[in-house]
Copies of this chain bind each other. A is one copy, B any other.
Amino acid sequence: MTAFSGLMTPACLIDRPRLIANAGKMAGIANARGVTLRPHVKTLKSLQAAKYYAPPGSPICVSTLAEASYFAGAGYNDILYAVCLTPNKYQQVSALLQQKVKLTVLVDSKSAVEALCHAAFDSGSPLSVALEVDTDGHRAGLCPDSDELTGLAKDITNANHLQFAGVVAHAGASYSCFTTSEHASMAEQETNRVMHAVKRLRDAGITCNMVSVGSTPTALYAPHQSGITELRAGVYITYDCVMAGLGICQTDDIAMSVLTTVMGVQQDKNQILIDAGWMALSRDKGTTGHKQDCGYGLVCSEQGALLEGWYVVATNQEHGIVRHIDGLNVDAAGFHFGQRLRILPIHACATAAQFSQYAVTDDNSEITEYWARINGW
């Protein structure tokens, strides 16, 4: 056990009781709906963290093949790589298949399917391939109404070395929804459109064993609709200021923070300098368009209590600048050199990526253990 005072700063803290509560809530939602939860491990990328929300044996979703390999090595054998596969990654895919992992890859274009059909994977069993379906015009995916959807599904089905898995949708547009009714409406749209694709495929004689939808906001508000086989969600495990700004969680649910030390109290500028710059917090400013712009993060006491109105207004590489939203005085607020504070991340996936390990606390005063994470591709 290490007291916070003995830690090098900046350090990335995980509040384990909150993480466990967040995991339980989402698992309960999936369970109540009778769908499988496929957690996206891209936020924490940590085996030790995953045991609380996706223990070995669980289906998982990954954002890189490096994650796939890391989790496969620990016994995970049902992995969805949820980024369109390009040919320069076929070798890594072969390596995973040789480990007897059930890897499902994603494609959304004729070119990508053609490349897969002409590829040779060094594996005894066929590669599972899903089609990405676009339900909100957000980024990628095939239109549920397109001829391409059924045509490509047939091409995959007809390739001996491929196995058609089904359809995957990601309602990324939900990150621009700010009310419960907007989230519910976006979730309904995601479900309806992906089910429309499933129906069209079924009419063409093609079965979707995987009908996967998700994003943390839509997973929380998804309607009870039959046909969906699994929910995907990732950032729910820690949440962050973006999710709080969308009304998806409270700041008290946020299970990640960056422990930092005050380097200077500048009365003349009415601001304090902390040793968490963008290298620790990341450059993510995802709440810029929100009702409350949290800058680079919200400030909490060492014990994790939110210091209302104090936020990181600017960052340099190793410096963060903290001010109050209404200009409260830094001296009156009692800030002092050497003081420890904690910063709630704007975007947990981005902040976590700046670290190679997490310091885990159960009581907001001591570190109980460290969890490793991987980065890279």
Contact = CB atoms under 8 A, between A and B. Distances in A.
12 contacts: A9-B88, A11-B377, A63-B318, A84-B273, A172-B316, A278-B350, A279-B353, A282-B283, A283-B284, A283-B285, A317-B349, A355-B376
A321 to B, nearest CB: 7
Interface in A287-325: 316-319, 321
A10 B7 CA distance: 33
A261 interface: yes
A353 to B, nearest CB: 6
Contacts of A264: 84, 108-109, 112, 140
Contact of A283 (B8, B84, B263, B350): B350
A111 B353 contact: no
A338 interface: yes
Contacts of A63: 279, 317-318
A48 interface: no
Contacts of A109: 264-265, 337
A316 B87 CA distance: 21
Nearest to A10: B377
A85 to B, nearest CB: 8
Nearest to A262: B86
Contacts of A263: 83-84, 86, 112, 140
B261 A86 contact: yes
A285 B285 CA distance: 10
A9 to B, nearest CB: 6
B338 A88 contact: yes
Given A86-B338, A109-B264, A139-B273, 4 more contacts: A63-B317, A84-B275, A88-B340, A139-B321
A284 B278 contact: yes
A354 interface: yes
Interface string A194-237: 00000000000000000000000000000000000000000000
A263 B132 CA distance: 12
A89 interface: yes
A115 interface: yes
Contacts of A139: 273, 316, 319, 321
A250 interface: no
Given A283-B283, A283-B285, A319 B140 contact: yes
A337 B111 contact: yes
